[in-house]
Amino acid sequence: MRNFKELVVWQKAKGLVKDIYTVSTAFPSDEKFGITNQIRRAAVSITCNISEGCGRNTDPDFARFLHMAAGSSTEVENLIYLCFDLGFIKEEIQNDLVQKITEVQKMITGLNNSLKK
């Protein structure tokens, strides 16, 4: 069993969750059960899938959870763009969040590739 807290990708994803929660507090109140909830849940899902995968006994099981984390990261990226398009966030915030999610995505891919070797 791996210690997920030692994985830099989990640490970066956890930081992204905090950023998403902070930014989304300013979203319109009528989005509480819409995009606000969706982007928060998707961001949390990245960290949850990484940590759950670490608790699995085999590399293929871990890889499966990393695939799910990658899917959630793409969902977060999509929602960041939608939030900008809808005027919920400014361009500089969008750029910062996209840079962070892209870094997490690359790290997930790299970790997944290392499991295949």
pTM of the model: 0.95
Alpha-carbon Rg of the chain, whole angstroms?
15
CATH of residue 23: 1.20.1440.60
53-107 pLDDT tens trace:
999 989 999 999 999 999 999 999 999 999 999 999 999 999 999 999 999 999 9
* Segments in the chain forming alpha helices (H): 8-24, 35-54, 59-85, 91-116
How many domains, in total, are found in the chain? 1
Q: What is the pLDDT of residue 6?
A: 96
117 pLDDT above the threshold of 90: no
Band the pLDDT of 1: cuts 50, 70, 90. confident
Q: Take residue 32 and report the two structure tokens written for it.
A: 């509480």
- The whole-number pLDDT of residue 77 equals 98
CA separation (Å) from 83 to 26, 49, 114?
11, 24, 34
Range of the domain at 89: 4-116
